[in-house]
Every structure is written in structure tokens, then in C-alpha cells.
Structure 1
Amino acid sequence: MGKAYFVGKIYNIHDYPGAILSTNASERVYGSIYKITNKANVFEVLDRYEGVEEHLFKRITVNAHLSSGDTLKTWVYIYNRSIADKKRIYSGDYLN
């Protein structure tokens, strides 16, 4: 569906990203939005991959802001452990 961001902060967690929510609208996490057609099967696989059962991440809905200017509700995986000793990625884009 396109590039987007949500209000949050992102950290480097042992060579993978971990995002958390923020109340500061200037703090953004950037990524891509994908439309899925088979939610049950896709989330079963993704939840297992993201460690939801082990409480490493939790899947929640947030408002995502598309580069087109549109806003939509989307699922994201939020890091569910302490970020106290983690390095923040201030650009908001893990791939940069």
C-alpha cells in the first residue's frame, strides 16, 4: 500500500528493530504498509516469528500515516521488553 509512519520510537535490539509507542507526534517509526488477504494464516506465522507467545513483541493497531497523506488503522508489532540499555535509532528508519 505504500510507505508510512506511526508515532513511536525505534531501537536496535540485538541486530533487529524494536519499536515502542510515543505520545510525541514528532517521534516517528517509518516502514511499509502491506494489505493482507488471509489474516488468520498470516498472523499465525508472523506472531510466531515475532515472538508474541514469548511476550517479546505484542501486536496492536495504530494509526499509520501514508506518504499520500491518508491515515489508516494498521497492525504493528511493538517491542514488549525494557529498552533501558538499547540504542535508539533517531531517524525512525531501521533500514537507514
Structure 2
Amino acid sequence: MNLFVYGTLRSTYGNPMAHLLRQHARLLGHGWVPGRLFNLGWYPGATYEPDSSHRVWGDVFQIVDESILTQLDDYEGIKHHPDDEYARREVPVHMADEAVSCQMYVFLKVDGHQTLIESGNFLER
């Protein structure tokens, strides 16, 4: 299973959850999805919008030990409740000349009050 990450779980971050991901996954490379990236303070939220002209840039990891998904879901606040900020969804991620199927934490609470990160890259905010 592959996971696309675009914020605090990216390969260059040093927080404990990013470190856990690197321990239990293999970085396959970088890619993008059509959608918008929002600055939510110390972390971002990204939408997946197949027809969007905006791109969200991130890293693709191949998960070696899927048991870490529970911890990652907890980190992202997923409780399978209508008030959840994120949901983990399957999306196609563009890498070089191919689309790779990945799980992605999709931001659900876009209401027009978030600040768009124009570059689509949380590392360049």
C-alpha cells in the first residue's frame, strides 16, 4: 500500500510521526495530486479535486508495516465521525509519467476561511 503525504509527515520533517513513517515505510519519490493546499497554522490541509488546475505536492511512501496506519490515523484526528477534519482516501498520485494509487489524508473542512498555499507545496509556504 502507498501513502501520499503533503505536510508534517513529509520525508524532511523531524517530528515523531514523520520518523515513525520513515521507519515503517520506504520513500518511493515525490508526486502531486490535483487539488488545493491550505495553511491551517502549523500544519496543512489538502483537497483532492480531479478537475482542479492547482496541484498539491508531496512524498509517496510504500508502507511496509500497515499496522502504523492506526497511529497515523490517530495523528490526523480520524475518528470516523462527521466532525473529522480529515478522511483517508484512495487517490491517483502523479509521479513522473505514471499515476500511482495511494492513500491520502484529504481535508474535509474547506469553508472559504483557510489561506491557500499558492505553490501547493507546504515546504515552500
The TM-score normalised by the length of structure 2 is 0.70
Paired residue total: 94
Query: Which residue identity lines up with residue 75 of structure 1 in the other structure?
Result: Q
Query: Which residue identity lines up with residue 5 of structure 1 in the other structure?
Result: W
Identity of aligned residues (%): 27
Gaps of 5+ in 1: none
Gaps of 5+ in 2: 1-27
Matches within 5 A, 1:1-96: 1-39=28-66, 41-53=67-79, 55-66=84-95, 68-96=96-124
Alpha-carbon offset, residue 25 of structure 1: 4.4
What is the root-mean-square deviation of aligned Cα atoms in Å?
1.4
Q: Per the alignment, in what secondary structure is the counterpart of residue 85 of structure 1?
A: coil
Query: Are the structure 2 counterparts of residues 18 and 29 from structure 1 closer, same or farther at C-alpha, using a change threshold of 3 Å?
Result: same
Query: Are the structure 2 counterparts of residues 17 and 7 from structure 1 closer, same or farther at C-alpha, using a change threshold of 3 Å?
Result: same
Structure 1 segments, 4+ long, off by >6 Å, are: none
Task: Give 1 or 2: higher strand fraction.
Answer: 1
